[in-house]
A and B are shown apart, each in its own frame.
Chain A
């Protein structure tokens, strides 16, 4: 099934019949089986699915971190499939932002330096107004000179979010951003992500297995066995949970 909801918005990221196969022969694992999906601009999309459903693989392929076996992936008007390392680096530099489960901040740099790192690597100056907005939104103004080791997990993840936002990428990919946080810190980060979509038109694609986290999104895409099996618009934690249960049940029946 192809997820096509929200045609009125232009796609920020698109997967077209994407296959991902690991290994060969007996050890062959098919992670994605012909996934086609569009992720609209200015929307917050969650990708959900049980472990092994291929949700992380899909995100890695979309972000150009992993290559696809068949099919094409594009970000904005750039076709990711077939790009070399230099092209991929440029893509990551200019069009994509990342938020990881493990925060992944550089311990040697202060919070501010971490936030500005993608821009400095690209040799660009931050837009001061936007930078101020980002800093205020994440609420870290008084922590800017601290090293990551001096920040709490939630604060570190907010730094990571700010780092992804500050270069205004076409799309931000978040991989279980609340996986390492307690529920309160997690809620803060999710609120913050949702606001950046609602107020600033940022596009975010988030992989999660937590129904509560998924409920912050505008849309949830469900994956199972490497295929898109369902989706929800304007989800709530309960509807997400129900869908998951159904998926688990059908998986059990099938399995």
Chain B
């Protein structure tokens, strides 16, 4: 039995290759994700270990607002220099250095633009001399107030050299000029650590620019005396400095930093796994179809086996064995491809992050285990149904002409209806927020069930739809034959089309949601923002671009400008909860520029320690005018604010608005966006160049008219959309393989028929046209299903998000048209090989074919 199975397996290399390819692609994604996260994880372990190399113990004040890796760089608050003295006095301390190190120091490169970071920090620090880690390559340390030392990687990125006079943007101060007096590298000849950029000032300048308070530091780096363990030193330092400080060993810090980073990585990992799941779902359809066709084709052979005494169990075994073999081979190939892809992505990531030195490529056990588990399980599960069918072939079929009667579709339709209904219920529960905490799981489950349900209903739908679609091609005889062929085996057509449906439905659904969101938000912005000019930049890393607050005053002085507002934002702890808060430089802006209306109290003036909240926030937290709320900002002591006004919630404003004074204690006390309202009759084109001139020292932002600004903000969605579409394209590629596979098998199955058609005068070109029409009908049918299901799912989500402000339902007609057009092309492409094969059929051989 085993031998027979292997023989038949080897006899059908091509079709198994095609179906195996789907598993290979899915497994590749899964194992690639694990390899990537493992490699990057170890890379960052090494980076953070290096960064804290030579630090035995580190002292930092407890942060006022805890930030996660996804929200931005943690900035430990400053503490007085006396703490350094206290630490130095602790027995066992060999060396204690006060350190200033805060993210947000941006060098303006030789092209006049700020050197951007796509994630790694841009640290502004104090120069404390060379260490084991930091070694000067050229020049010397910073001695005068206008001198800086930068790392080699930054010098290369900004194309600046020793002795250059350069501008530096810092979180607390606008652009200032410095001379580069030194360029340093790191031990091991590295130019940067993990792509981060470092600018080192003299200590007083660093304290002023980065911490905002003279004679303070934000950490103390401690070296232990010989024979003192970091752990015991940590404990003695901790008791010396008292509470309010985090005292940790260098090892602890590097582990924590790496752990924080890995959390962000695991998010990335989950996204990749999500796409792998889609690829595998589509692959399952493909494998199911292949095995079904193989079983149908081998009916005679299988019946003969039964007739000569094989048991039903052996029949199932033989099909499952075949599946295991395919799964194993596909898993091995997928794992190999996954390792390649993982390495490639890690390399790309390393380059993007500014020349990461990658740790050696690692193949974690998780990658290997998941590759084989996924590859084998998917293949075997998909082959189970065909295996059962094989076992039900009666021995008598060996003696009869192979007859595959049309099995009634009742059962499959009822099952499909039930599964679809379950999917709909799950979707409804998930989207209406009744899933009890498992919203995402419920929604995903609903989508999965909906897909399977629709796939099961597809055979029933396929008859009318396919004949309708086929009517387009019925003008020629080959066209008509192709149409009839595609309607011939509704199940086969259905599964093939369903595989394409999944990818197209997801793309369509995501597009519907994102386009609707985009349209709703830009519609709202169009309707409400009453500013002719907007100052803003495009955010590339965790830190938003900022500009000099002085620009606001200067802009207000331009003739014809009626109102200028600078917007600040930060994460703060408001009433014990971490909350995004905003502050406006002009109190009148809220009403005049953002069109926000008061519902209680006064929203036009905001004194110190007064705050405004939106109706939603007020309701959530039980606040009313006169309520007092404790607020902790990124800097400064906690203080109490009084609610003096409540305004109608708007998508464009945060839920909590603080007075302009509070922005000084924000982590970024510089405006992120500026809105300029012109007096009636003033032309935008007259004012815009003047504002532009003011921004010469703020290279991260630019001024745009309102429409361009809205376009730019809404356009940020497009990048995300493109990325999702590229990843989902994989699912579509697999589906195309499915069409090729189905057609190739159909051609094989109909060899005799094709021979006959050729014998009675069908030309080669006509034969090819016939196969092509069949492929096009199947793929357009799949795309049509996908578009309908996707638009339905997208519309359901948009409906559920109505309260979140997504009020417009936008159906991407162009994209739907493109999808259908592409499907037709896909059909033509998928038909090339099978059609060529059909056209090459030897007429005599085909007729004699048994």
Instruction: Tell me the A residues contacting B by CB distance below 8 Å.
Output: 60, 65-66, 85-86, 89-90, 92-94, 97-98, 100, 102, 104, 106-109, 117-118, 120-123, 149, 163
In addition to A66-B844, A104-B756, A107-B488, 5 A-B residue pairs with Cβ atoms within 8 Å of each other are A100-B756, A104-B752, A106-B753, A107-B753, A121-B762
Binary contact readout B327-362 vs A (1 if CB under 8 angstroms, 0 otherwise): 000000000000000000000000000000000000
CB distance from A6 to the nearest CB of B (A): 27
Are B484 and A109 interface neighbours, CB within 8 A? yes
Q: How many A-B residue pairs have CB under 8 A?
A: 63
With a cutoff of 8 Å between Cβ atoms, the chain B residues found around residue A100 in the complex are: 756, 847
**A65-B843, A85-B764 as given contacts; A120 in contact with B477, CB under 8 Å:** yes
Q: Which of B643-660 contact A (CB under 8 A)?
A: none
With a cutoff of 8 Å between Cβ atoms, the chain B residues found around residue A93 in the complex are: 760-761
With a cutoff of 8 Å between Cβ atoms, the chain B residues found around residue A118 in the complex are: 760-761
With a cutoff of 8 Å between Cβ atoms, the chain B residues found around residue A122 in the complex are: 761
Give the residue name and chain of the A residue nearest to B477 (CB): A120
Bound-complex Cα distance A212 to B766 (A):
40
Name A89's contact: one of B405, B752, B758 (CB within 8 Å). B758
Are A98 and B766 interface neighbours, CB within 8 A? no
Give the residue name and chain of the B residue nearest to A109 (CB): B484
Bound-complex Cα distance A122 to B482 (A):
17
Bound-complex Cα distance A85 to B843 (A):
11
Are A104 and B753 interface neighbours, CB within 8 A? yes
With a cutoff of 8 Å between Cβ atoms, the chain B residues found around residue A89 in the complex are: 758, 761-764
Bound-complex Cα distance A69 to B811 (A):
65
Binary contact readout B830-850 vs A (1 if CB under 8 angstroms, 0 otherwise): 000000000000011001000
Give the residue name and chain of the B residue nearest to A91 (CB): B761
Asked if B708 is an interface residue, CB under 8 A from chain A, the answer is no
Name B761's contact: one of A92, A107, A108 (CB within 8 Å). A92
Are A121 and B760 interface neighbours, CB within 8 A? yes
Asked if B485 is an interface residue, CB under 8 A from chain A, the answer is yes
Give the residue name and chain of the B residue nearest to A56 (CB): B848
Are B488 and A108 interface neighbours, CB within 8 A? yes
Bound-complex Cα distance A93 to B761 (A):
4
CB distance from B485 to the nearest CB of A (A): 6
Bound-complex Cα distance A104 to B843 (A):
13
Bound-complex Cα distance A107 to B764 (A):
21
Are B763 and A108 interface neighbours, CB within 8 A? no
With a cutoff of 8 Å between Cβ atoms, the chain A residues found around residue B757 in the complex are: 106, 117, 121
Asked if B481 is an interface residue, CB under 8 A from chain A, the answer is yes
Asked if B414 is an interface residue, CB under 8 A from chain A, the answer is no
Q: Which of B740-782 contact A (CB under 8 A)?
A: 752-753, 756-764, 766
**A89-B762, A100-B756, A106-B481 as given contacts; A65 in contact with B488, CB under 8 Å:** no
Are B760 and A98 interface neighbours, CB within 8 A? yes
With a cutoff of 8 Å between Cβ atoms, the chain A residues found around residue B487 in the complex are: 108
Bound-complex Cα distance A149 to B844 (A):
24
With a cutoff of 8 Å between Cβ atoms, the chain A residues found around residue B764 in the complex are: 85-86, 89
Are A65 and B760 interface neighbours, CB within 8 A? no
**A109-B484, A121-B757, A121-B761 as given contacts; A65 in contact with B847, CB under 8 Å:** yes
Are A108 and B847 interface neighbours, CB within 8 A? no
Give the residue name and chain of the A residue nearest to B753 (CB): A106
Instruction: Tell me the B residues contacting A by CB distance below 8 Å.
Output: 403, 405, 477, 481, 484-485, 487-488, 752-753, 756-764, 766, 843-844, 847
With a cutoff of 8 Å between Cβ atoms, the chain A residues found around residue B847 in the complex are: 65, 100, 102, 104
With a cutoff of 8 Å between Cβ atoms, the chain B residues found around residue A97 in the complex are: 760
Bound-complex Cα distance A60 to B842 (A):
12
Bound-complex Cα distance A107 to B404 (A):
11
12 chain-A/chain-B pairs, Cβ below 8 angstroms: A86-B764, A98-B756, A98-B759, A102-B752, A104-B753, A104-B756, A104-B847, A108-B484, A108-B488, A120-B477, A121-B761, A122-B761
With a cutoff of 8 Å between Cβ atoms, the chain B residues found around residue A109 in the complex are: 484
With a cutoff of 8 Å between Cβ atoms, the chain A residues found around residue B403 in the complex are: 149
Are A121 and B756 interface neighbours, CB within 8 A? no
With a cutoff of 8 Å between Cβ atoms, the chain A residues found around residue B762 in the complex are: 89, 121
With a cutoff of 8 Å between Cβ atoms, the chain A residues found around residue B753 in the complex are: 104, 106-107
Q: Which of A89, A90, A94, A120 has the most CB of B within 10 A?
A: A89
Bound-complex Cα distance A225 to B225 (A):
107
With a cutoff of 8 Å between Cβ atoms, the chain B residues found around residue A107 in the complex are: 488, 753
**A65-B843, A121-B477 as given contacts; A92 in contact with B488, CB under 8 Å:** no
CB distance from A163 to the nearest CB of B (A): 7
With a cutoff of 8 Å between Cβ atoms, the chain A residues found around residue B759 in the complex are: 65, 92, 98
With a cutoff of 8 Å between Cβ atoms, the chain B residues found around residue A117 in the complex are: 477, 757, 760
Give the residue name and chain of the A residue nearest to B480 (CB): A120
Bound-complex Cα distance A25 to B537 (A):
81
Q: Which of B752, B761, B844 has the most CB of A within 10 A?
A: B761
CB distance from B354 to the nearest CB of A (A): 61
Bound-complex Cα distance A98 to B481 (A):
20
CB distance from B300 to the nearest CB of A (A): 14
With a cutoff of 8 Å between Cβ atoms, the chain B residues found around residue A106 in the complex are: 481, 753, 756-757
CB distance from B9 to the nearest CB of A (A): 29
Bound-complex Cα distance A60 to B847 (A):
11
Bound-complex Cα distance A180 to B762 (A):
26
Bound-complex Cα distance A120 to B484 (A):
15
Give the residue name and chain of the A residue nearest to B844 (CB): A65
CB distance from A161 to the nearest CB of B (A): 13
Bound-complex Cα distance A107 to B749 (A):
13
With a cutoff of 8 Å between Cβ atoms, the chain A residues found around residue B477 in the complex are: 117, 120-121, 123
Bound-complex Cα distance A142 to B759 (A):
28
**A92-B759, A163-B760 as given contacts; A121 in contact with B766, CB under 8 Å:** yes
With a cutoff of 8 Å between Cβ atoms, the chain A residues found around residue B844 in the complex are: 60, 65-66
Question: What are the 10 tightest A-B residue pairs by CB atom distance, in nearest-first order?
Answer: A93-B761, A108-B484, A104-B756, A65-B844, A118-B760, A120-B477, A92-B761, A89-B763, A121-B761, A66-B844
CB distance from B849 to the nearest CB of A (A): 10
Bound-complex Cα distance A123 to B844 (A):
24
CB distance from A81 to the nearest CB of B (A): 15
With a cutoff of 8 Å between Cβ atoms, the chain B residues found around residue A149 in the complex are: 403, 405
CB distance from B299 to the nearest CB of A (A): 15
Q: Which of B403, B487, B760, B844 has the most CB of A within 10 A?
A: B760
With a cutoff of 8 Å between Cβ atoms, the chain B residues found around residue A66 in the complex are: 844
With a cutoff of 8 Å between Cβ atoms, the chain B residues found around residue A108 in the complex are: 481, 484-485, 487-488
**A65-B843, A65-B847, A106-B753 as given contacts; A86 in contact with B481, CB under 8 Å:** no
Bound-complex Cα distance A117 to B756 (A):
11
